[in-house]
């Protein structure tokens, strides 16, 4: 199934693309970066802390007006001192093996992409949501990210969205790269 979805996405490669990149998401110059936030949206550790630190104190002030965020939902703020124009904040599930968490994680990607489209944004970078402190298994999280983004691009083929799946460390990067390779070789269903 993923191979077919990727094949469909490849047909629209001029307008739509998914890529995997290793590095610091706060350095990316795109329309929006996604923050794997906690439910308060007031900053935390990992990528959330890095985004808040780099964006500056104005981000915290704007986040205070948003009233938090539920798991799987997404909210948008300005990027402030980041190269990205906007930050889309989403709250991933804390992993405990329940099936509904797959849907919540997929919702993080889908709702972020929907919000980006609503705001006429055409490039978005995601971190590996929930794979840090929230302990979601990297292989499963990568599969959900790739599948959900590919499905969204296929369903919105007329729009033109560039998606970057960013990986802060080599372990996560290698997992994403391996998954993409397997999908392209038809080894995933």
Check which CATH number belongs to the domain holding 178 and give it: 3.40.220.10
Whether 117 is covered by a domain: the verdict is: yes
Listed in sequence order, the residues at least 6 apart from 115 whose beta carbon sits closer than 8 Å to its beta carbon are: 74, 75, 76, 88
Q: What is the C-alpha to C-alpha distance for residues 37 and 136, in angstroms, rounded to an integer? A: 14
Whether 189 is covered by a domain: the verdict is: no
Whether 173 is covered by a domain: the verdict is: yes
Domain count, the chain: 1
Whether the CB-CB separation of 45 and 133 falls below 8 Å is answered with: yes
Q: What is the C-alpha to C-alpha distance for residues 27 and 43, in angstroms, rounded to an integer? A: 18
Whether 52 is covered by a domain: the verdict is: yes
C-alpha closest to that of 94 among 44, 51, 56, 20: 44
Predicted pLDDT of residue 12: 45
Whether 145 is covered by a domain: the verdict is: yes
Whether 82 is covered by a domain: the verdict is: yes
Whether 27 is covered by a domain: the verdict is: yes
Whether 50 is covered by a domain: the verdict is: yes
Specify which residues 20 forms β-bridges with.
165
Predicted pLDDT of residue 189: 59
What pLDDT tens digit does each residue of the chain (189 aa) get? 444 444 454 444 433 489 999 999 999 999 999 999 999 999 999 999 999 999 999 999 999 999 999 999 999 999 999 999 999 999 999 999 888 999 999 999 999 999 999 999 999 999 999 999 999 999 999 999 999 998 999 899 899 999 999 999 999 999 999 888 877 777 765
User: At what angle are helices 2-11 and 170-184 packed, to 10 degrees?
Assistant: 90
Domain span at 118: 2-184
* Token pair recorded at residue 99: 């099936």
Predicted pLDDT of residue 97: 87
């Amino acid at each position: 199934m993923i191979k077919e979805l990727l094949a469909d996405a490849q047909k629209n490669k001029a307008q739509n693309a998914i890529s995997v990149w290793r590095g610091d998401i706060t350095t990316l110059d795109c329309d929006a970066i996604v923050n794997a936030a906690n439910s308060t949206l007031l900053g935390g550790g990992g990528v959330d802390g890095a985004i808040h630190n780099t964006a500056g104190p104005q981000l915290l002030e704007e986040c205070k007006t948003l009233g938090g965020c539920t798991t799987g939902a997404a909210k948008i703020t300005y990027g402030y001192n980041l190269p990205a124009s906007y930050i889309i904040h989403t709250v991933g599930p804390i992993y405990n093996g329940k099936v509904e968490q797959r849907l919540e994680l997929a919702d993080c990607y889908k709702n972020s992409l929907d919000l980006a489209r609503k705001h006429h944004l055409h490039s978005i970078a995601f971190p590996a949501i929930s794979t840090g402190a929230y302990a979601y298994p990297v292989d499963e999280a990568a599969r959900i990210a790739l599948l959900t983004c590919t499905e969204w691009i296929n369903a919105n083929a007329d729009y033109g969205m560039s998606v970057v799946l960013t990986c802060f460390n080599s372990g996560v990067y290698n997992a994403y790269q391996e998954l993409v390779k397997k999908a392209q070789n038809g080894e995933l269903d």
